[in-house]
Structure 1
């Protein structure tokens, strides 16, 4: 089993080292993304697309922003398409 982690402080805490070692002995492998690598994080790519292409450029009230994001979610894969490659 392979686990990919994003280098969050909770993932790299020294207190977890014994657990990492134990899990690695059991065959689990851990790979950490570089400290800042939005190009490797799919949610960052999705948010970038939403923010700069799918959301009209304007000021939103919190409720309005939530509704607009929900609308994009409902239209995802039909009206809004994102290809990860």
Structure 2
């Protein structure tokens, strides 16, 4: 008998301290290809020079990511890598903790459908109903 892996919901997001959020949900693993595609999409809407703060995970430091840095810089996006092992400096980590430990109700875990619906609801209403005070 083949053991079936449980489904996994992954999110990749861009967040600033004004609670502006752009998020992408995936039912697959996130690798460098996915991150690059999301950053490329994010660059399409840049209106001014922007700094993207990211951690040093392997998908952020891959050759693919490093090769795209100059192209992104020309579009107005520069990358700032946080020191190793410093999730407390990454505001998106604060968002993930709020979602997991404060905003998702126990009923969200009753089924896959409930989980997806609850997470999508939070993201749709983030900045209005769901707010983080970064002050």
Instruction: Confirm or deny a common fold (TM above 0.5).
Output: yes
**Alpha-carbon offset, residue 61 of structure 1:** 2.0
**Alpha-carbon offset, residue 45 of structure 1:** 0.6
Give the greater-gyration-radius structure (CA). 1
| C-alpha spacing 1:69/1:12, structure 2 compared with 1 (3 Å) | closer
Partner of 1:71: 121
What CA distance in whole angstroms lies between the structure 1 residues aligned with 2:125 and 2:79?
35
Stretches (4+) displaced over 6 A? none
Higher strand share: 2
What CA distance in whole angstroms lies between the structure 2 residues aligned with 1:3 and 1:78?
23
What CA distance in whole angstroms lies between the structure 2 residues aligned with 1:77 and 1:30?
24
**Alpha-carbon offset, residue 77 of structure 1:** 1.6
| C-alpha spacing 1:32/1:75, structure 2 compared with 1 (3 Å) | closer
Relative contact order, CA 8 A, sep 6+: which one is greater?
A: 1
1:40 aligned to 89, 107, 113, which one?
89
Higher helix share: 1
**Alpha-carbon offset, residue 3 of structure 1:** 6.4
Structure 2, gaps ≥5 residues long: 1-48, 71-77
TM-score of the aligned structures, taking structure 2 as reference length: 0.42
Partner of 1:6: 55
